[in-house]
Amino acid sequence: MRIGMGYDVHKLIKDRPLIIGGVRIPHDLGLLGHSDADVLLHAIMDSILGAAALGDIGKHFPDNCDKYKDISSIVLLKHTADLIAEKGYHIVNIDSTIIAQKPKMAPYIDLMRENISSTLNISKDDINIKATTEEGLGFTGKELGISAQSICLLSK
């Protein structure tokens, strides 16, 4: 058994879609990034890669590579699953937290879990996603960005 943790943060800006957990969420701001900037999936991928001692998403999907420009993070998540499968690992469970003042994430969490479950080919029951605000404090509380944290347990 191996455990890994992941963290990601992206700045909120105008004229970008807000995509979290593979779900397009209606909001007047979106996340800035080279790919679709899906902060939750990026944290999950880092937790998976970390548990397998395979580095991080920057190593596998560099932000200076045109191949990953505006790519869906669902595609990157699938590639991450393939990388750990090659090493003989499978995911036991994932627990993640989205930190955002707005918008409310609760209406979208079940769909996020479904997207992750089908992409990783694991049970939805093995994926937990929580969301919290920072009660107006810090960069997330001031709606300057959104962050996510994740932890993943792998087994061989």
DSSP 8-state symbol, 108: G
Q: Is 58 annotated as a binding residue?
A: yes
Cα 56 to Cα 16, 59, 101: the distances in Å are 25, 6, 27
Q: Is 51 annotated as a binding residue?
A: no
39 is annotated as contributing to ligand binding? no
134 is in an annotated binding site: yes
79 labeled part of a ligand binding site: no
- Binding site annotation covers 105? yes
Find, among 38, 13, 12, 35, the residue nearest to 23 by Cα: 38
Known binding residue 34? Answer is yes
Query: 56: annotated binding-site residue?
Result: yes
135 is in an annotated binding site: yes
Q: Is 61 annotated as a binding residue?
A: no
Place of tokens 């970008």: 16
The residues, ordered by sequence, that sit 6+ positions from 107 with a Cβ below 8 Å of its Cβ are: none
User: Is 42 known to sit in a ligand binding site?
Assistant: yes
Q: What angle do CA 72, 57, 129 make, to 5 degrees?
A: 70
Does the annotation place 119 within a ligand binding site? Answer: no
| Chain centroid offset of residue 8 CA | 8
User: C-alpha 96: how far from its chain's center?
Assistant: 8
List binding-site positions for a divalent metal cation. Answer: 8, 10, 42
Residues in binding site:
8-10, 34-35, 42, 56-58, 100-106, 132-135, 139, 142
